[in-house]
Amino acid sequence: MREEIVLYHGSKGIVEFPEIRVTKYNKDFYFGFYCTTLAEQAERWATRFDGKGFLNEYQYTPNEELSVKKFPEMSEEWLDFIVACRSGKPHNYDIVEGPMANDTIFNYVQNYVDGKISREAFWDLARFKRPTHQISFHTAKALTTLKFLKGSEVRDEE
């Protein structure tokens, strides 16, 4: 029996049919469709611009035939992978999973890339941030592991 997991995607609308979009800026794990196991994090994604959005839920069924890269925690390998992806270097994985370099962490990553802080300083700063999670789907075959469950409107109550 294969494990099925509920994933969340925060957006400005209901996304019944996920797709990979090439955007102006490279993301942590390069271009892909990004989800998370953390509903609260997806709600923050959905409401980050104007305080309202949609929480999309999917049933994810892993497929052993796909090439999957997992980072269980922030690590040297994770940092190097994100720096490469954010610099525009593609990879060959169908799915990548691991911690997210949120805006604060990304600023630390950028400062490291720019030589403004050392690798050690990056880890000292990054260690105290709240846990994050992301799983990104990078190929059409990877997207077939997702089944849309529902979308619901969310608002930032702050």
At residue 127 the predicted structure's pLDDT band, cuts being 50, 70 and 90, is confident
Tell me the pLDDT band of 157, cut-offs 50, 70 and 90: confident
* Residue 103 tokens, joined: 């805006």
Name the residue range of residue 133's domain.
Answer: 5-155
Q: How confident is the model at residue 158 (pLDDT cuts 50, 70, 90)?
A: low
Per-residue pLDDT averaged across 35-51, rounded?
A: 92
Note whether 29 and 136 are within 8 A (CB): yes
Q: What is the Cα Rg of the chain in Å?
A: 16
Inform me whether the pLDDT recorded for 1 exceeds 80. Answer: no
The Cα 64–Cα 69 span in angstroms is: 12
- Main-chain phi, psi angles of 97, to 5 degrees: -135, 140
Residue 67 has pLDDT above 80, yes or no: yes
E-assigned strand segments in 3-111: 5-11, 33-35, 52-60, 68-70, 95-98
Count of structural domains within the chain? 1
- What's the pTM? 0.88
Instruction: Lowest mean pLDDT of 57-61, 82-86, 123-127, name the range.
Output: 123-127
